[in-house]
Amino acid sequence: MTKRTASHTYVPGALRTYAHTARPTPENPLSPLTRPSIVPEVIDVPAALAAEQVKYNGPAGHAFITALPALAQGFLDQWELRVDGPSMHGVSALVLPVTAADDTRAVLKLQILDEESAGEPVALRLWNGDHAVRLLRHDEPTGTMLLERLDPTRMLSHLDDVHEAVLVIADLLARLTTLPAPKDMRRLDDIAHAMLDQTPQALEHVPDPTDRRLIADCAAALGEVVTEPGDRLLHWDLHYENVLAADRAPWLAIDPKPLAGDPGFELLPAIADRYDPADVRWRFDALTAALGLDRERARAWTLARVLQDCLWEIEDGRPPEPRRLETARLLRG
């Protein structure tokens, strides 16, 4: 199964690209790998970002963090950009607010190049700013991107009306998943088969028989649809903190981890984040109606997404997350 990276985590409150300003504090000091002599008072590499890179990517993450200040300065020079605000970071990327030579306000996103980040500019180029952040420039060898600047202070997670927020995600997904994925995009087909292969061994590490039966049921639901994995261009990480407001549109999606697959695999973040067990079925109904999905297939793919989360937790030596299991119980019926 595809190994999880930090970017897969969509727990509310997690550090997110665009969402958090990196400033040195006693709790979050700047990484000792930051080299202010190279980029004085411009590039801060937060210790939290450095720690996450080392945790999830090992030596490759350490090498990325070490090279990051010089890498950022190189693109600032090459693309004639001027930093005009404090750096921001998620768990996997450093984002710098910049102004271009023509006064265009943008952000420079630097992240380690892997199978997830390699697909991001491909998807953004295909969406071409339609319900997603617009890609302005891209350096293929490093994965560095120049993106239009959105408003990091206005995330969809800040919207008080959760039902309205769910419908925003439903509308975005309905638009984004209309496109077929390119042939070289990562396939849900491969990920789904790997999940089924991993499940028997993972179940051995779930002591509670009720939870074990539930996870097995999620795998059985996946088995019913795995032969038809779909071919749409999926975002794969569209939760409430990956939707930002913009001047040109009310809401735009950011930070895709694209796949080729069935749109039913997209629903779980909107259902299980900002969690309310009494709201699970309403959210599922609203999402499937907006996307025009077959409900039984969408239920199976959503249970498959719960299975994926459970497998990741088990792989990391933790018990499956109770709210994910409860979501599966409510959807399984």
pLDDT at 89: 87
Among 118, 149, 180, where does a domain finish?
A: 149
Residues in the chain: 333
Q: What would the pLDDT profile of 172-211 be if each residue is shown by its tens digit? A: 999 999 999 999 999 999 999 999 999 999 999 999 999 9
Quote the pLDDT of residue 57.
87
Q: What angle do CA 17, 22, 26 make, to 5 degrees?
A: 135
pLDDT at res. 214: 98
Compute the distance between CA of residue 94 and CA of residue 255 in angstroms, rounded to an integer. 12
| 40 belongs to a structural domain | yes
Rounded to an integer, the average pLDDT of 123-144 is 97
Clarify whether residues 221 and 142 are in a common domain: no
Helices and strands, counts by H and E, the chain: 9, 11
245: domain CATH number? Answer: 3.90.1200.10
Same domain, 144 and 168: no
pLDDT at 105: 97
Q: Could you please report the per-residue DSSP string of 9-35? A: ---TT---TTT-B----SSSPBPTT--
172 in a domain, yes or no? Answer: yes
Which of 149, 177, 193 is where one domain is finished? Answer: 149
Q: Which residue has the higher pLDDT, 39 or 100?
A: 100
SS3 326: helix
Confirm if 260 and 232 have CB atoms less than 8 A apart: yes
Q: Tell whether 107 and 200 lie within a shared domain.
A: no
CA distance 175 to 127: 9
Same domain, 189 and 326: yes
What is the identity of the amino acid at 129? G
Does one domain contain both 255 and 279? Answer: yes
Residue 225 confidence (pLDDT):
98
Please provide the average confidence, as pLDDT, over all residues in the chain: 88
Answer with the residue of higher pLDDT: 108 or 115.
108
pLDDT of residue 7: 38
Residue 313, strand partner residues: none
The per-residue pLDDT for range 255-285, each reduced to its tens digit, is 999 999 999 999 999 999 999 999 999 999 9
Total of domains in the chain: 2
Choose from 17-21, 86-90, 297-301 the range with maximum mean pLDDT. Answer: 297-301
Share of the chain above pLDDT 90, in %: 80
Residue 94 reports pLDDT greater than 80: yes
Answer whether residue 29 shows pLDDT above 50.
no
* 49 Cβ contact list (under 8 Å, min separation 6): 15, 22, 31, 65, 89, 90, 91, 93, 94
94's tokens: 């450093």
- Check residues 18 and 100 and name the one with the higher pLDDT: 100
Q: Does residue 305 fall inside a structural domain?
A: yes
What pLDDT sits at residue 27?
41
Q: Please report whether residue 83 resides in a domain.
A: yes
Has residue 33 got a pLDDT over 50? no
Domain boundary, last residue among 101, 125, 149:
149
Q: CA 292 to CA 77: how far, in whole Å? A: 47
Question: In terms of domains, do 133 and 204 share one?
Answer: no
Residues 68 and 212 in one domain: no
Please check whether residue 10 lies inside any domain of the structure: no
Tell me, yes or no, whether 185 and 51 share the same domain: no
Looking up residue 31, the CATH number of its domain turns out to be 3.30.200.20
Task: Give the bridge partners for 88, in sequence order.
Answer: 21, 95
Residue 263 is predicted with a pLDDT of 98
Look at residue 5 and tell me if it is in a domain: no
pLDDT class of 30 with cuts at 50, 70, 90: very low
**What's residue 22's pLDDT?**
34
Asked if 264 and 285 sit in the same domain, the reply is yes
Regarding whether 161 and 271 lie in a shared domain, the answer is yes
Tell me what the mean pLDDT of segment 28-34 comes to: 36
**Residues 27, 81 within the same domain:** yes
Residue 7 lies in a domain: no
Q: For residues 153-162, give the mean pLDDT.
A: 96
Domain of residue 205 covers: 155-332
Contact indicator for 135, 145 with CB cutoff of 8 Å: yes
DSSP, collapsed to helix, strand or coil, labels residue 45 as coil
**Which sequence positions are flagged as catalytic?**
237
Q: For residue 4, is it within any domain?
A: no
Statement to judge: residues 94 and 138 lie in one domain: yes
Residue 47: the pLDDT is 87
What local confidence, expressed as pLDDT, does residue 9 receive?
Answer: 32
